[in-house]
Structure 1
Amino acid sequence: MPFEGNRTLDILYKAQRGGYGILSQACYDTNSVVALIRAAERCRSPAMVMIFPVTLMYGKGPFLQFCVTAARDASVPIAVHLDHATDPEHLELALGLAEQGIKFDSIMVDASHAETDEENIAIARPYVERAAKLGIPVEVELGRLEGGEAGLRMISDAKLTNPQKAKEFIEGTGATILAPSIGNLHGKYINPPNFRQDILQDLRDTFQGAVPICLHGTDELPDALFRECIRNGVSKINLNSWARDPYAKALGEALLTKPFPDAVEEATEVFAAVCERFYILFGSAGKA
């Protein structure tokens, strides 16, 4: 088994069996990582530190090493995930670091910008195979989400996932985690989202727990919609601005009036409080 003992898959498979969701929170700096793990330990919840390629390119090996060390030192299961790696330079850096022993627990090879599913598979598969040799499972996107954030490519041609093609797509790419397009988008929703829960239900029935399902595009979603997606088979839930924006606001304001360490601590607690809310909402609190 190439992924035996892999943290991401251990966390997600347990969540699937237990019927709860896992917070995969974007972290842009060390304070965010500390906050996510601090909150997870308080709630006794598993969690995932998620890094965008723009952050990896900025911090490179030293930042990833910090994330991995913090995750391993935590008293609860924490995985480190690279989100939306679309460009060869992102993937080459991540896989190159893994070959040096500084390794993500999972990565997303995002070829959803491809014109066809066949092209998506052709782009993703070589990276999936390289990652597998390093013991790193890969997430892929079937369909295409609209929008963009945090240095991601802007996409303006959304395409819903066809559940009938999902098994063939996973087998074609060799990937382990699936991110579907169900009406979700990156960035803010102009209208209330109308998620195709039938797609999630079909994917759940197709894979029977063998392929974890990841929900992207979660800005400003109502709590009830998160719960519904979890009931319909989602186990990995990516969050970004929910914690990032109040953290940045708190840090900026506190730095104007307080000593630097006090300002950082105050902002860290703001980030942690958001994480705690989602550990409870997703049902992962107490599951570590």
Structure 2
Amino acid sequence: MSFEDNCTMKILYKAQQEGYGILSQVCYDAQSAIALVRAAERCRSPAILQLFPVTLMYGKGPFLQFCLNLAHQANVPIAVHLDHATDPEHLELALSLAEQGIAFDSIMVDASHAETDEENIAIARPYIERAKKCGVPVEVELGRLEGGEAGLRMISDAKLTNPQKAETFIKETGAVILAPSIGNLHGSYLKPPNFRLEIVRELRKTLGHGIPICLHGTDELPDELFRECIRNGVSKINVNSWARDPYVKRLSETLLTKTMPEAIEEATEVFAEVCERFFKLFESAGKA
């Protein structure tokens, strides 16, 4: 199936062709979703509004529909993506909503906890085939990232991606976005990250330009490392705590001294300002 008309893929293909990165920002509530869209419109940047399964399970179809309406009615291209759908109940909810016409623009079927690549493929493929029938492209992880984030399964025993296995892995799963393990991890880096960018370069050669590459594990990364990843072929960049933490801090502080609408507006702007910084850093500002 071709995904040329799919919102996520159109955004990523264009970024890949023109050499910039796409902010795929995790949003936990309506305010953070509004902040991302507000920032994207101000910067004239494409973006991806990303939800964790825990947020989908909390808000279910009505919240997903809100995010889809918000993103698709923006005056710049914004897609809605489900990140790290690992558990059967999360995948079942996302796919059953898609079958009812409330579909994410893309989802990640994450079976990286499997012992082998073959087991990863066996777990992921039935979900990917079902998603395809709904016109939903799927991201997968080859290798394994350590760590965990809010609402995500904790993973240990990291396994670097083998670029030689990528082509077969993509073909066997039917996925169209690849998240590699290159020394990145979820959560805080205990020592300076040592990214194996040669893996990204090799993947780019092996997979050509039909498969966008997604960078996970971006907490606390220096700006230059983000730029290097983009230069080496990464087009989708997942971001979480950079915007979340200052947003929560400002909201909790201002609720003590201001009305709730005032506090929400201030916190929304804090979140939006972080998004704007990334649009400029990833050079997607002005590309919409």
TM-score, reference length from structure 1: 0.99
How far 1:5 sits from its partner (Å)?
1.1
| Contact 1:2–1:132, Cα closer than 8 Å, also in 2 | no
- Other-structure match for 2:213: 213
- Other-structure match for 1:200: 200
- Other-structure match for 1:170: 170
Amino acid aligned to 2:15 = A
- Other-structure match for 1:179: 179
Measure the CA separation in 1 of the matches of 2:184 and 2:190: 12
- Other-structure match for 1:73: 73
Measure the CA separation in 2 of the matches of 1:4 and 1:285: 23
Q: Does 1:45 align with 2:59?
A: no
Measure the CA separation in 1 of the matches of 2:233 and 2:51: 24
Amino acid aligned to 1:80 = V
Describe the superposition over 1:104-124 as per-residue Cα deviations: whole angstroms up to 9, x where unpaired: 000000000000000000000
Describe the superposition over 1:107-166 as per-residue Cα deviations: whole angstroms up to 9, x where unpaired: 000000000000000000000000001000000000000000111111111000000000
Describe the superposition over 1:52-74 as per-residue Cα deviations: whole angstroms up to 9, x where unpaired: 00000000001000000001110
| Contact 1:41–1:76, Cα closer than 8 Å, also in 2 | yes
Amino acid aligned to 1:177 = I
Measure the CA separation in 1 of the matches of 2:3 and 2:166: 21
Q: Does 1:236 align with 2:236?
A: yes
Gaps of 5+ in 1: none
Superposed counterparts of 1:1-288, under 5 Å = 1-288=1-288
SS of 1:135's equivalent in the other structure is coil
Measure the CA separation in 2 of the matches of 1:123 and 1:218: 26
Amino acid aligned to 1:171 = K
SS of 2:266's equivalent in the other structure is helix
Measure the CA separation in 1 of the matches of 2:214 and 2:177: 7
Measure the CA separation in 2 of the matches of 1:167 and 1:2: 18
**How many pairs are equivalent?**
288
Measure the CA separation in 2 of the matches of 1:2 and 1:126: 18
How far 1:2 sits from its partner (Å)?
4.2
Amino acid aligned to 1:65 = Q
How far 1:187 sits from its partner (Å)?
0.2
Measure the CA separation in 1 of the matches of 2:256 and 2:101: 40
SS of 1:221's equivalent in the other structure is coil
SS of 1:139's equivalent in the other structure is strand
SS of 1:200's equivalent in the other structure is helix
How far 1:207 sits from its partner (Å)?
1.5
TM-score, reference length from structure 2: 0.99
Amino acid aligned to 1:229 = C
Measure the CA separation in 2 of the matches of 1:275 and 1:2: 30
Identity of aligned residues (%): 78
How far 1:4 sits from its partner (Å)?
3.6
| Contact 1:32–1:268, Cα closer than 8 Å, also in 2 | yes
| Contact 1:2–1:133, Cα closer than 8 Å, also in 2 | no
RMSD: 0.6
